[in-house]
Amino acid sequence: MTLPQIYSAPEIPVLENLQKKFTDYQNFKNNTPIVIDYGSETCRAGWATEEDPRLTFQNIVSKFKTKKSAFKNSILVGNDVYSDPLAYPNYRSPYDNGIVNNFDLVENTLDYIFVILGINTESIEHPIVMTEPLANLYASRKCMNELLFECYSTSSVAYGIDSLWSYYYNTQNLNINPNEDSIIISTGNYFTNIIPVFSGKPQIQHAVRINVGGNSMADFMLRLIQTKYPSLPVKINDYQSKLLTYNHTYFANDYAESLECSLNKNNLSNFDHIIQFPYKTISVIEKSQEEIEQQAEKRKENAKNLQRIAVRVRQEKLEKKGTEKIELLELLDEINKLDELDSSHAIKIKSLLKQNDFYSKKEIEDEVKKIEATLKRARDKDLGIDPNENKEPHKFDLIDIPDDQLNAEDLKEKRKQKLIKANIDARERMRLAKIEEQKKMDQEKKKDNELKKNNFDFWLTQIKNKRQAILDKIDSKKNLKSELSNRRSHASQQRMKNIADLASNETPSTGTRRKRQEDSDDNFGQDDSDWNVYLDISKDNLDEDDNPEAELIQINELLFENDPEYLKNLDNKARDEIENKILYRFYSGNLEAILTDTAVPKEHSFNTSNVGDITETGDSADDNKIITDLDLNDDKNIDSLPNNGAFGLKNEVDEINELTARGNQIHLNVERIRAPEVLFDPSIMGVDQAGLVEAIENIWKKFPKKSLSFTNNIFATGLGFTNIPGFKDRLKKDLTSIFPVDTDINIKLGNTLGNDAWKGAALWSRTLFEGSENSDYVRSLQSNSITRKQYEEYGSEYLQEHLYSNMYYKQQN
């Protein structure tokens, strides 16, 4: 069996340093536009004159309180959130379901951008070029305009759709003719948009939106994992689910076929990805011979000290007993003297007895006898005298005398002698029974050894049959327990019937008292089988003295000594039976099954060859192990685990570590193709919409007179699904099935999927600058932007349209 590949679970990053400010602002004071790609997942910002954005950070803001800030609100933006462990659990996003809604966080983000870029003026004296979602809400744009013009006093703002600017940038790099028909597929974090382009002009009014994005895919993956492993010890957060989705999923070329063969045992080793989460391990410390000898010497010294302490404590107890005896004898002498003087001292005697917690003189005498017996046993033990050596035998002289010939004292003694004799007789019977049983066992063992010696194969067959009989007995006990727990089962109904019969038989009869006494005697119990009725009605009717599990262990030990391959084959067969089940492969992949009850004895059965190599996608997988050391030579550690001894301890520790590791693993197999499939079939996650291919087909059918020229320019952008492996091939395959035969389908992906929108906006801004003076450039840019004058004249919802912007519809009062 090939070793499985294990991937380390992603962890939330920890940053030591915050983002540093740029100090070259003086180079950009001359009306250089600031380009901001305000995405729902990542925000990018920089100067339009540069090729790449200066800032790229996760679009999140965290507000929290710490001791460092004297419990005042601290605000961290972007990747700086990962620099403080208290910041990440409290982060929020300016977006709410794909719409910019939390403008207090937007203000924090813009403050962060302008400060890091080094802007040190009271107002932002630069034009701003900013991306916005397709069909952005007027309310969202209104708040953004108010924030930029009222709070930052910017000169102008140009809004454009991120996917259109990405398309504009890539027409320069992917040999796309800007005057031809195209289809733009934008897979964002919340939505997937399809925008047709006819003769180089985007047809926003015919665009289609699917409410499925990269965030939907990650959420769906998280739900699948939580449903599959409801008792996983660790909690998977949103950050981990996103990385698991983007690092381990791919688009299947044929989803139905891949799903059918995904759990095939032959393909599972490559298809199944094991994700290992942190867990604690137990390790065994093996000491050198010198350390073992030192520890043994230390143990001996400790034992001697304990013996000395025990001798001292025992001597102190004996001395205390001796002192107590002297005090009791003195008390007894005083009572005797008072008793001899006069009977009038009875009150004084009672007072003495009460002061010493006694009720009578005889009680004191009995206590003295007990102390003397204790002291005598101690002296005999010190002298090595057997306590039973001079012990007088019990007398049973009153047992055979009739009771009418004995007085009350003798009758009491007679009852005592009967009890002692019955106890002695019972012990003797038990001793004789043990001897008889031992003789019988010795004879059977002798007979068994002779059979083993003379006819080994027949003997081995008998042992195997006996083992099978024990297994059948164990199974029948389990089945009976299961049936009794189900009130509809035959065994449970039979039990209730027996209870009802007993209840009906105990109904009191009518008639005189004498008649009832005669009727009540039904001779129950004379036959031993009568008592079986209580076994029938009892749920705990299994014989506790009968222990087939212990017998099975002995039989397995015997078989392992004589035919180990037979037991190994049984275990392998049991493992194969488990591993061939679809559900096992779904939950545990291609890992070797660990049997709870092995035929091979435990100390010989555990095999660590299937633990596997660990391959990390981030940090080392070994970092996920928190090691707890066990001292191999510590008796407490050895006794706390079964199979005492070094060999047994190692096996048990290895097995515990293996089971702990598996308990903190998840297996991604079906989920690897199911999670991204929501783009082509949103109904998988409960979204009642058409998939990507159907949406493109609907756009094509709206324009039957148009040629299929746009199929030669299908442009895909965005980090939602486009960067998932297999996207391009799957899309081309599915589009081939809906378009006419021999249709040329050419799918092109953006060069830099993450930065294309920012680069397109910067390129668009720079293009307006080419061939013009600075003042002309400002006027040219402002003709495509919302100026302060337009903002004050048309209102905060106003949008200045251009080729790559949303459409503006004037709201009716």
- Least confident range of 276-290, 420-434, 484-498: 484-498
Assess contact for 249 and 707: CB atoms under 8 A. no
Percent of the chain residues topping a pLDDT of 70: 82
Confidence band, pLDDT 50/70/90 cuts, at residue 288: confident
Q: Tell me the two tokens of residue 162.
A: 């991120």
Task: State the average pLDDT over residues 335-357.
Answer: 76
Confidence band, pLDDT 50/70/90 cuts, at residue 769: low
Task: State the average pLDDT over residues 184-208.
Answer: 94
Task: State the average pLDDT over residues 307-323.
Answer: 90
Task: State the average pLDDT over residues 721-742.
Answer: 93
CA–CA gap between residue 640 and residue 287 (Å, rounded): 19
* pLDDT at residue 620, as a whole number: 37
CA–CA gap between residue 596 and residue 778 (Å, rounded): 77
* pLDDT at residue 421, as a whole number: 86
Give which of 541, 639, 652, 640 is closest to 605, Cα–Cα.
652
CA–CA gap between residue 791 and residue 800 (Å, rounded): 10
Assess contact for 195 and 186: CB atoms under 8 A. yes
Buried b (16+ CB within 10 A) or exposed e, 590-615: bbbbbeeebbbbbbbbbeeeebbebe
Confidence band, pLDDT 50/70/90 cuts, at residue 380: confident
Residue 495 has pLDDT above 80, yes or no: no
Q: What are 131-165's pLDDT values in tens digits?
A: 999 999 999 999 999 999 999 999 899 999 999 99
Confidence band, pLDDT 50/70/90 cuts, at residue 285: confident
Residue 424 has pLDDT above 80, yes or no: yes
Answer with the residue of higher pLDDT: 541 or 785.
785
* pLDDT at residue 165, as a whole number: 94
Task: State the average pLDDT over residues 373-394.
Answer: 74
Task: State the average pLDDT over residues 298-306.
Answer: 93
Confidence band, pLDDT 50/70/90 cuts, at residue 114: very high
Task: State the average pLDDT over residues 531-546.
Answer: 52
Task: State the average pLDDT over residues 284-298.
Answer: 85
The count of residues in the chain is 813
Assess contact for 181 and 706: CB atoms under 8 A. yes
Q: What are 261-284's pLDDT values in tens digits?
A: 888 888 888 899 999 999 988 877
Q: What are 130-139's pLDDT values in tens digits?
A: 999 999 999 9
Alpha-carbon distances, residue 166 vs 40, 446, 714, 746, 784 (angstroms): 16, 90, 13, 18, 18
Task: State the average pLDDT over residues 300-308.
Answer: 92
Q: What are 358-376's pLDDT values in tens digits?
A: 888 888 888 888 888 888 8
Residue 224 class from Cβ within 10 Å (0-12 exposed, 13-18 middle, 19+ buried)?
A: middle
- Least confident range of 31-45, 169-183, 664-678: 169-183
* pLDDT at residue 645, as a whole number: 41
* pLDDT at residue 630, as a whole number: 40
* pLDDT at residue 219, as a whole number: 95
* pLDDT at residue 538, as a whole number: 55
Confidence band, pLDDT 50/70/90 cuts, at residue 811: low
The residue with tokens 């409960």 is 686
Confidence band, pLDDT 50/70/90 cuts, at residue 627: very low
Residue 585 has pLDDT above 50, yes or no: yes
